[in-house]
Structure 1
């Protein structure tokens, strides 16, 4: 492989902006894109990537032997189907979360990875596109807080009702709030505790504030336990309009010798983003992590070239999906 060439299928979620831009930053060439219809993201996407041609069909991209990687940010229920088609066409895949919306889809993806030897990965943007998480990972690796025994992750989001497409309010289309948003926090729990497996001990999902949209789940929570640690996750669609960003996402990492708190996107009363608070036996400080690197995309590009798993293992991706889907099922089977 010389210069990595990639294409995008589906631009229905704005996460495709960051996925494509970061792949370009890592040295890849954006060869083309296709999407069904004209989603409300299209105008901004074309403005961001004006020189990238829109293909006449998805198959034109899948059949192009010069394209190595397919990015997916179509409607979540359709991502597994496109991923399988891409892998069967000899392409590796990087998909927006959630990578799939049912356990049957996940089983099909696993089987396709096994038979094709292709890489199927997910851009967990709340880890891979947040400099504060890079700095926190460095501190944990340095032993700054001892052994990590718990993560507490919250993922509040702004509803932005007027900009949301119909599929956003369709449970079958987006997969449920735990399958969707909480996959970020499950990924971070496994990563920071060093867990390769975990048990979902509690899960809940509900619609408290949007009764006219019965397909929307606007609140969810999960408790996790592994041999290495414990985790609690809360996600919601309640971000108030006065907050200057889409959500006050936070992560607390508890260790045996201290703790780290990440205030990723905002810290009310302070300027900027990527605030990292470190407290241990000798340090009690707030660190500006906004200048930290985002190494995932360069590592992922190297994995595509070398057929390695440095950026993230395939087993980790599968496990995040499995746990989020199991949590969603548990939440929806619980007595109301």
Structure 2
């Protein structure tokens, strides 16, 4: 089925992948709208030859079926509710909500079941990750005991709008970044998160008092599996090597590992996955061949719009969102500037 889609809220470059995938699939863009900042919107209009719209009401009409959004994070729940009223399905750049009130509103929309909501969390669809999960599910490392996930990011503060540094508007480092890893934890283990203990720290940018740059969370799953997830904004601006983005999974019979390395020949990062058991002919472990990628966060969302069973559902979105918000609300906070006199 062919859909007309639009963008409401165009504040992060991740929205480009949504627009491109929708156009590549033969869908038609009705327009792009942003209430405050037209910079990225105009770039997308020129790049994809789609309309720029002056009034959001032009897009919340029955002839537009799907909305994509990379709005300011705390404004996304308003757009979700507007789409529910207008009958549009919506897929969003992460996170969907930034606090407990937003979480309750999101859950209410999902419970009413009038529209499909998608979230652009791509990791569970990557070929390297699906190959790794298949081996884990087949028992290659025995039962999972512990997972360690680290997700450092480049900040590049001069390139970011002021809202990014606002706890209220952005949600903060834990909610903005660790939503990915909370979803990966549930997906890789097949278990639910039942407890978190977290810390956040601030070591840079005193001009933004409530911008924290590092977060770490200890997690307990419902079967007793433990995990530690970490994210920060400290990858150097000139750094090309993504090797610090890693997942290490300890099992009762071996280890599984996912990582990112810089491929100098290709001039870009490349991913790998490895199983290490300590037996067999290869003491350095077995590197896995990535699966062919047959789905994405957007295509899976479109399947649900079409009435098919999706791989990434409302239950998953809500569970990952709840885990990050609960961890954020209970975090122990340390501001290095409070101790400098």
Structure 1 length-normalised TM: 0.88
Residue 247 of structure 2 corresponds to 251
**1:147 to 1:7, Cα distance in 2 relative to 1, 3 A:** farther
**Distance (Å, rounded) in 2 between the aligned partners of 1:4 and 1:140:** 37
**Distance (Å, rounded) in 2 between the aligned partners of 1:261 and 1:47:** 41
1:223 aligns with 2:221: no
Selected match of 2:117 from 113, 117, 120: 120
**Distance (Å, rounded) in 2 between the aligned partners of 1:303 and 1:161:** 37
**1:279 to 1:22, Cα distance in 2 relative to 1, 3 A:** farther
The question of whether the paired residues in 2 share the 8 Å contact of 1:186 and 1:324 is answered with yes
1:62 aligns with 2:63: no
**Distance (Å, rounded) in 2 between the aligned partners of 1:82 and 1:20:** 18
**Distance (Å, rounded) in 1 between the aligned partners of 2:293 and 2:160:** 32
Residue 328 of structure 2 corresponds to 328
**1:286 to 1:27, Cα distance in 2 relative to 1, 3 A:** farther
**Distance (Å, rounded) in 1 between the aligned partners of 2:36 and 2:334:** 38
**1:13 to 1:72, Cα distance in 2 relative to 1, 3 A:** same
Aligned counterparts, 1:289-328, within 5 A: 289=290, 292-306=293-307, 308-328=308-328
**1:206 to 1:9, Cα distance in 2 relative to 1, 3 A:** same
Residue 3 of structure 1 corresponds to 2
**1:147 to 1:4, Cα distance in 2 relative to 1, 3 A:** farther
Measured against aligned partners, the alpha-carbon deviations of 1:237-266 in whole angstroms (never above 9, x if no partner) come to 0001332167842222333332221113x3
Over alpha carbons, which structure has the higher Rg?
A: 2
Measured against aligned partners, the alpha-carbon deviations of 1:41-70 in whole angstroms (never above 9, x if no partner) come to 335423432x2212222221111x232221
Residues matched between the structures, number: 329
Measured against aligned partners, the alpha-carbon deviations of 1:181-225 in whole angstroms (never above 9, x if no partner) come to 01111110111111234211x101111122232121110000110
Shift in Å at residue 294 of structure 1?
Answer: 4.1
**Distance (Å, rounded) in 1 between the aligned partners of 2:240 and 2:43:** 20
**1:138 to 1:39, Cα distance in 2 relative to 1, 3 A:** farther
1:106 aligns with 2:103: yes
The question of whether the paired residues in 2 share the 8 Å contact of 1:239 and 1:247 is answered with no
**1:247 to 1:109, Cα distance in 2 relative to 1, 3 A:** farther
Selected match of 1:141 from 97, 112, 137: 137
SS at 1:136's partner residue? helix
**Distance (Å, rounded) in 2 between the aligned partners of 1:168 and 1:34:** 19
The question of whether the paired residues in 1 share the 8 Å contact of 2:201 and 2:333 is answered with no
SS at 1:278's partner residue? strand
Shift in Å at residue 296 of structure 1?
Answer: 3.8
**1:45 to 1:149, Cα distance in 2 relative to 1, 3 A:** farther
SS at 1:157's partner residue? strand
Higher alpha-carbon deviation: 36-45 or 110-119: 36-45
Higher alpha-carbon deviation: 180-189 or 102-111: 102-111
**Distance (Å, rounded) in 2 between the aligned partners of 1:191 and 1:72:** 24
Shift in Å at residue 39 of structure 1?
Answer: 4.7
Extract unaligned runs of 5+ from structure 2: none
The question of whether the paired residues in 2 share the 8 Å contact of 1:7 and 1:30 is answered with yes
The question of whether the paired residues in 2 share the 8 Å contact of 1:183 and 1:320 is answered with yes
Residue 190 of structure 1 corresponds to 186
Extract unaligned runs of 5+ from structure 1: none
Residue 276 of structure 1 corresponds to 273
